Every structure is written in C-alpha cells, then in structure tokens.
Structure 1
Amino acid sequence: MQQQPNNTEFFIEGNGVADMGLIATPGARELTALIDRHLVRWAKRKGMEKETFIIPSECPRFSSGDGKGLIKNTIRGDDLYIVVDVGNYSCKYTMFGHENCMSPDDHYQDLKRLIQAASGKAHRITVIMPLLYGSRQHRRAYRESLDCAYALQELQDMGVENIITFDAHDPRVSNAVPLMGMDNVMPTYQVLKTMFKSIPDFRPDPEDFMVISPDEGAMNRNMYYASVLGVNLGMFYKRRDYSRVVNGRNPIVAHEYLGESVEGRDVFIADDIISSGESMLDIGYELKKRGAKRIFCNATYAIFTGGLAEFDKAYADGIISGVYGSNLTYRTPELLSREWFHEVDVSKYIAYFVAAINHDMSVGSIIDPNAKIQALLKRYGVKE
C-alpha cells in the first residue's frame, strides 16, 4: 500500500504548481481558518515565512437583495481553493428591510460570484464543498429537477478543475462530470479517533461491539467500519407505506432488523445526515428492546433541523450514549452545548488534500485511510 507522505513533505522545495490561495465564502470562514492554520504550520516547518494563505474576499448585498463577489487581492496565476458551506443558514442578509437567512441556493450563487471575480486569472480553481449542493436531489422520479448534476456541470463550464466533497448522498452523481476531478471523501479515521479520545473504555471487539446500518442506503459506509474494525455487521431496512406521500416522501411504517443478537453489546450506527433524527432514534429504541448496551450514532452532517429535545430525552433515558458529527457544515450553538454531542474535526484532512493537489501529488493514500486506522487500533491495543 502506498504510504501517506508526512505533512511537511508536501512543501518540498517550498513550491507547488503555483502559489496557493484559500478563499472562504461567507458561510465557510471558520472551517477555512482551521485549514489555513494547518497549512501555515507545515509551511513554516519547511522555512516558508507565511502568515496566512487566505485571500480576503466578500460577497456584499445591496438593499434590494442583489449581490456581488469581490476578491480584494491579486490572484493572477494562483492555485485557488474556494471553500463553501451551502448548509450555513446562520449567515443573514437584509432585503427590502427584512432579514433573510442564506439558503443553499444563496451560498451556491456566492460561490459562482467569487469564481467570476477571479476573472479567469487563476492558474487553477478547486472547490472544497463538503456538503454537496443539491445532493439530496440526486436522482429523477417523474418530472423533477436534477440540481446536483446540473450544478456540477455548471461549475465545470466556469473553469473549476477539481471538487472535493465529503460523504456525498449518492457518489454516482460524479458521472455528470466525468472529465472533472471529483474526490468524494469519508472521514472514517477522524470519527474513530474522536471516539477513542472521548470514550475511555471504547473497545471495538467482536464479542462486545457491533456496527449497525440504519438502512440499505447506508450499508457501504457501515460495512467499511465493520471491516476495518473486524466486527460483525447488522442492518435495518425501512418498511414504507407506498400508498401515501407525506412531506414529499413515502412514510416509514417500521424498521425491520436483520442480523445477529446485539444483546450486551455496544452498537455503532453511521449515516450521512441527521436531519430530524427521527429514524436514528427509532432504531435506537429498537436496539434497546433487543438488549443493546450503549448506542453511539454518527452522521457526517449533524444538521438537526429539529429533534434536539428528543435526543436530550433519549440521552437522559440511556437510549443514546453519544452522537458524533463533523465540523464540515454549520452546527448550531444549541447543538454544540449538548453533552451527548461530540464534534469531529476534519480540517486537517482537508489541509492534506489542499497541499497534495497544490503539488500535483497523488491523493490515493489520503482517500484510503486504512493504514492510519490500523495504526490507531494498534495504538489503543485493539489489534496486535
């Protein structure tokens, strides 16, 4: 297996294909600052005097709601990395005296404005969009739009050469842009590392631990966790009522379990998004009925459009022992204050990508974290 290079090796000779520049859209300033911190530290280890790679920019709005993109420094010949969080609804703007929260559509428009502001002067443009725009509308049924596929084609037409995204709802959407670089990454190692740090007696052994997929759509991610940990895998499948449509979807009638007994075992459930969290809690209650010991939930995007009170009750009742979510999209202060929520920092992982792409190095070893996971398990005495 190809070994992942040491982080300082990314700055060999101090030069990449071009000078590196980070641009943060309004909703991604926090994440961009964390990425920049890692890059600056690595650069200084190689003798590069660099205070920041962030290029000042903004997307101001007129009182009518119209906007524009503005890049405040020269970017001619730069290798640009534009970071965007389409899920950050905490960003607001005033339109005709009314305050509006920015929607995914607004963030996507700001991304295009900043690409336009670069005016084709950059050496190369890479978009870092952890939460992929329109990704939940990934396939067509009847007369429906294909927002994600069309957005990817639009970015390609605007000159974007690479897109880095995390845990796409359906990675097959990359088929829409077969000639553009698109890396869909899973923060598996970061999740396990955070679990080992936050759970003192975390022991993922086959006798005491199981991975459970919440539905058939999440099987691949949970199968990977079970494989690298060497534990058994179970799954639920959602039995739906296809005679009715509620909020645009066929309602779930029941969660049916397939797999061996979970009695007396800790259980780990991974999914891409926790929205209301209703399905995750239903599974938690079902597993407790079957004798599960502790239940740990993971979602790359713990957006929690609702359901915090329900999770508070489940935690107080001993149903859920913890929820792990990344910092790849906006998390509300209310969520961050919860004792049961554990944040998974993925900024260093993104910094590896930025540095590797800037030097035209292979990212294969970064995408496949198996070697790092095995080293992590060995460090904590799980595997000899």
Structure 2
Amino acid sequence: MKMAWKEMMKYKTRYLILGSIIFLISFLTLIISGLANGLSFDNASLVKNMPEGTYYMESKAEEQYNFSEISDSQRETIENSHGDAVFMSIQMGELEDEDGQKHGITYVTATDNEFFPDVEKGELILDESIQEDGIEAGDELSTNLMDDSFTVRDFAKQEKFSHSAVAFIHPDDFMNMYQSEKYQLAFTEDEEEDIDEMSAFNQNQFLNTIPSYSAEMLSLNMIIAFLFVISGMLFAIFFYMINVQKLGTYGILKAVGVKTITLLRLMWVQMILITLISLVIAISLSQLITLVLPEEMPYQLALETSAIMAAGFFIIGFIGATLSGVQISKVEPMEAINQGGA
C-alpha cells in the first residue's frame, strides 16, 4: 500500500483526473438514484406504505387494476382462505373546491383494515400535499360524480398514487360515484395461492402494473446501469494507458524477481484508494444536497442504498482495472527493458 500511495503522490495529476471523473460519475449516479427513489415513492407511496403481501386482481382485467372487478364468489373464496384479506378500489378523479378550482386526485376506498384511515360517509381524508393548493380541514369539496359534497376531515402523510394525492372515502360514497358494488383488488399478507380467474402479484409486480411507475423506473434504472458501465470502462481505459507507459518498469521489476500478482496488487490498491476517496466525497454531497433541493422535488437516498451502490462501484472498478492488468501478466522482462522504463 505504501508503494501504491507513493506512486500516486508522484503522479498526482493523472490520478487526480481519474478520481475527479469517478467522483462526478458516482455523484451523478447517486443523485439519479435518489431522484428515482423519490419519484418511485411519490408515484406509489399508497402501495409502498403497505406491508409485503399479495394483491389479487381479476385475470380478465389484463393487469389493469381499474378494469378489475372481484365477484361475490371470488371474494368469498379469498375471505375463506385469508382471514385478514382487505378489499379495495382505486380510481382517478377530481375534486372541486369552493372557489371552483379543480384538483386531480385518486379516490381510494377499502373494507375495514389497519393500513388506511377510517372515513365516515360524506367525509374524506386527503394526502397532505394538497394543502399546498390552499385546501384545509373543514372545507367543502364537490365532484361531478355525485350530487352531495365532501367535507375534508383530516390529512394523511405521504399517501399518493400515480403522482396524485390520495382521497380516502367511505365505500358507500365510492360505490355511489362509480355505480359499482364490487371491489377491484384484494390484499393479504399471506403468500399467494391459485384462485380461479384471479391473478396474484407481490408488491413489486403490482407496482409495475401502474403504467407511469414502470415507465419511469425503467428509464431511470437504465441510466444508472449505463453510468456503472461507463465507470468500469473508464477504469479499464485509464489503467490500460498507465500500464502501457509503465511496461518497461514492470519488466525491470519482474527481472529482479517481483511477481505478477504483486504488481496486480499495486494496481488494485490504487484503484481502491481512488474509488474510496471519490465515493466518500460523492456520498457526503449526495446526502447534503437535500438541504438545497426544493421541497417539492422528490428525492430519497438512504445510506443503505448509497452503501450498496458504493459496493457496485468497487466491483466495477476491480473488474475494469483487472481487465487492463492482463498486460502486466504478458510482460516479458527483457522485451520490456529494451523498450525503456517509464
């Protein structure tokens, strides 16, 4: 390690350039990951706030929850198998305030459960984000889906679906608005089982049935994957160029008995030091950036996520550096010496 550090200090500029590039790529990757996690939660916090379990949907709906309708016989089958089953419905809609301003929301209703707040007929509980539009508890809100108006009873924290604020309402009001007495979905904390004409999904699978969720996550995850690939290529190219310049030095070292594995270790130590310093700075800044980001920007980056991504960068860096190190194993002492030391 001492030898690796000495060489880095001797050639500060070349290693500073590599460290800066790794810092920028890792910082960008962490920021995009934070935005991806934030968008994911903003898109479907209603589902993410629920425990792991199984969602059931009518097979004929073809993975479109708003077209699903659970029959009485299917509901009875689920209730007999899962005593804790919760039946719920989700529909996009709108509410109009007393000033005539319309607000896009997602109506949610469910049978008695511990995950959603209890709501009385004629009342609703809204996600707290809608308070930014000036709506307060006690306000009267109307909808063109029914004649009676709703009274805002309270606000829930971080309950969104498809980037819309959730409005929890009583099942009777929901059935009256959408002219249906059937629930769309069933949820249980038990493992899935086969039920006739029903499709089962775990939480991640159900999230991917939300069109906006799957499209967003696919795009952002592809960007993150490409950044990892780019970082690996940079390691390989950088160390390849350094190794070309040092072939003569490697030849002399081999001639005096230094083993190839020792030279590879030297390169690995340099890779680890550069990556470690770059990642410490990148992770620190990615956590502190929340202090300057606007509150309305969805950004979530847990330290556990940062640690996992840091491990990914170390693995990619190791692979990239090792691939470039193939040259070291092929160096012939006399041939390299004749080319001159670096």
Asked if these proteins are the same fold (TM beyond 0.5), I'd say no
Higher relative contact order (CA 8 A, sep 6+): 2
Report the structure, 1 or 2, having the larger helix content. 2
With the length of structure 2 as denominator, give the TM-score of the two structures: 0.22
With the length of structure 1 as denominator, give the TM-score of the two structures: 0.20
Q: Which structure's CA Rg is the greater one?
A: 2
